[in-house]
Amino acid sequence: SKVYLNGEWLKPEAAKISVFDRGFLFGDGIYEVIPFYCGKLFLLKEHLERLRYSLKEVELKCDISDFEALILKAIDLAELNKDDGAIYIQVSRGMAPRTHYFPESYDATVLMYAYKTNLRGFQDQFKDVVVSNDLRWHRCDIKSVSLMANILANTEAKKGGFAENIMIRDGFFTEGSHSSLFFVKNDTVYTHPNGKFILPGITRNLLIKLCKDNDIEIVEKGLPVSALDEVTEVFITGTTTQITAIKNLHFPDKIVHFGDEIGKVTKRLQQLFSEEVKNQTGV
């Protein structure tokens, strides 16, 4: 298997970056994860558009016009044309003497590789998550590689045996450490609005469209923790998570249970999601 680094396809052991790379020194970089089913990319345009957005928001100059071709080559070189997997892309602000301000000119460091991952059977998952404080910065809309708050919270979740942590900011649920978050209340689906406090999840955005196209009530409004009593279903979404149903929410002092079976709205959306994957990839 080969990784792409700054114009070359290399064995992972041979792919090296400078200790002065700003991605290493400051976490000054942007990333994307794009799924493929049987080697066929899903929502590629949307992911590349978000990559462009993130780069623009942090003024990271990088020409990504050849990325689509590189992505296809990454799948090919990894011999994953018949497998499910994902593409990891990272762009950092290259090498420069260490100063907080960034240099006016630099060569962005571009890393890309394809890897195999299991995208089947998400419909059968019914998992527990833990609630944590949202300690992230105020630009969660940028897919930055600076993920310290996410990784600290998710490591705590992992230690407790949980699938994910979901976060609360100022009394409202925002999202997971690496997933978007949805609630169902009175047959209406709720999810935090896009903006500075969540990542505009590509799977999230697709789900909103699927709701609208199929007469499922959807409201982009943050759910206050105090309204949890009325919630009947919870699920998280993401590129590799797809749609995972949540069984229990663990608070420091209580556990909130959402039934012994996956809820009907969640199930319906999982079905619609699978149909969309089939329509776009043939899988």
Could you list the residues that contact ligand PLP (CB under 6 A)? Answer: 33, 175, 178-180, 199, 201-204, 237-239
Residue 130's Cα: distance from chain center in Å?
18
Q: Which is nearer to ligand PLP, 10 or 145 (CB)?
A: 145
Q: Which is nearer to ligand PLP, 2 or 204 (CB)?
A: 204
Which residue out of 45, 143, 185, 264 is catalytically annotated? Answer: 143
Q: Which is nearer to ligand PLP, 5 or 140 (CB)?
A: 140
Residue position matching structure tokens 């105090």: 226
Q: Rounded CA gap, 116 and 84, in Å?
A: 6
Six token digits for residue 128: 């527990």
Q: Which is nearer to ligand PLP, 109 or 237 (CB)?
A: 237
By CB atoms closer than 10 A (0-12, 13-18, 19+), residue 181 is buried
Question: Other C-beta atoms within 10 Å of 257: how many?
Answer: 10
Least Å from the CB of residue 56 to ligand PLP: 17
Pairing of strands 8-10, 218-220: unpaired
Least Å from the CB of residue 51 to ligand PLP: 11
Beta bridge partners of 89: 32, 112
- DSSP state string for 122-135: GGG-EEEEEEEE--
209 labelled catalytic: no
Least Å from the CB of residue 215 to ligand PLP: 23
Least Å from the CB of residue 16 to ligand PLP: 26
Six token digits for residue 230: 């009325």
